[in-house]
Amino acid sequence: MSIFKGVATALITPMKDDRVDFDSLEKLVKFQLNNGADALVVNGTTGEPTTLSRAERVSVSKTVIELVNKKVPVILGAGSNNTHTTISYATENETLGADALLTVTPYYNKCTQKGLVEHYKAVSNSVKIPIIMYNVPGRTGVNINPDTALEIAQNCKNVIAIKEASGNISQISEVARLTKGLLDLYSGDDGIVLPILSLGGIGVISVVSNVIPQLMHDIVANFLAGDILKSRELQFKVNPFVSAAFCEVNPIPIKCAASLMNLCKNELRLPLTPCSKEQFVREEMIKLGLIK
């Protein structure tokens, strides 16, 4: 059974005076629940987890799980460059009540394809809840090859989906072909949701849905309902804003956008700094009617 169909928002982690801003976190979660989000991802890349302490990660996860109260699935990030640490995060997240895990490939170490298989086997064996593999070679330096994705799916019963953010449509097509019936396919790139849906994808784990959850939900919902033309129209509509939301490294621009909607402060943890292209972000938000 799929974890979700539609859009899962990769939540930003709001900050205030270099601390997690839990009041704004509550505002963000309520905004998502009231505006079409089909699932929430906590402590993914967009949530700046590598600069959060262990205690902060746990507190953010607990808060979101309590606020959501089973209305939609909550997927917790559980990834590192160390398999033992990843297992520790995974088991902790399962105990916290996560509905599923998002587990990025080990970064920096640049393991082999065999290493990827063994890594996901070890994590899979440590928990019972579903796992989404996260392939984002631009950040990690490691790519999950299509045949590796198949091997992992065949050997890890609770690895049931992949978030594909390689940007390589040919590769994603091959992953879809090889793993059909074994893995659910989610887009990890907001600008190519429609092409991935056409390959059999069932949703997107989205950055821009922090501020446009309904639009991102509607791209998927219309496609799955058979209205491909409407889905395409919406994809074209959001793509200029997607460009703005990635004009600097994520989550810098999307946090700027959320602040312009008064959802949180425009504050990040070093080494990330506030967006230097705020006017570009603002202009694209005005075009979408998000702000005046």
Inter-residue contact 145 to 109 (CB < 8 Å): no
User: What CA–CA distances, in Å, run from 130 to 39, 44, 59, 69?
Assistant: 14, 16, 22, 19
Exposed e or buried b for every residue in 9-31, given b needs 16+ CB within 10 A?
A: bbbbbbbeeeebbeebbebbbeb
Nearest-10 Cα torsion for 204, 114, 158, 77: -50
Q: SS3 of 16, please?
A: strand
Q: Which of 180, 96, 77 is nearest to 134 (CA)?
A: 77
**Selection from 216, 211, 217, 215 nearest residue 261 by Cα:** 211
Q: Is residue 134 annotated as part of the catalytic site, yes or no?
A: yes
Q: By the 8 A CB rule, do 28 and 12 touch?
A: yes
Give CA–CA dist 39/75, Å, rounded.
7
Instruction: Indicate which residue of 89, 134, 186, 255 is catalytic.
Output: 134
Q: By three-state DSSP, how is residue 151 classified?
A: helix
Whether the CB-CB separation of 12 and 25 falls below 8 Å is answered with no
CA distance 238 to 159: 31
Tokens coding 159: 């690895």
The alpha-carbon radius of gyration of the chain (Å, integer) is 18
What tokens does 127 get?
A: 């928990």
Q: Give catalytic residues, as residue numbers.
A: 134, 163
